[in-house]
Structure 1
Amino acid sequence: MSISEWSISQVELTVMKVDATGHPLEQITQSIQVSHETLADGIAIALVAIPGGDFLMGSPNTEEGWHPSQSPQHMVSVAPFWMARYPITQAQWQAVAQWPKVQQSLTPHPFCFSGANYPAEQISWPEAIEFCARLSARTRRTYRLPTEAEWEYACRATSQTPFYFGETITTDLANYSGVNWEYNGKICNKGFYGQGPEGCDRRQTTAVGSLGTANLFGLMDMHGNVREWCADCWHDHYQGAPVDGSAWITGGNCRQRVLRGGSWNGGPRTCRSAFRSRADIDSRLYDIGFRVVCEG
Structure 2
Amino acid sequence: MSPGDEHDSFGGVGGSGQTRTRLPEGNSGDVYGGARRPVRSSRSLITVVGVVVVLVAAIAFANRGGGEPADAAGPRAGTPGDTAPTAATGVRPVSGKNGRIPTGYAHDDQGAQSAATNYAVALGSAEMFTPSERGEIVQAVYAPSAIAARAGDLDKVYSDKDFLSRIGLQEDGTAPQGLTFISRVVPVGSKVENYAEDKATVSVWYSSLFGLAGEGSRNPVSEAWYTGSYELQWVGGDWKVTGFSQKDGPVPVARDQRASTSQEMSDAVGQFGGFTYAR
TM-score range, shorter chain: under 0.3
- Give the TM-score of the pair, scaled to structure 2: 0.28
Larger radius of gyration: 2
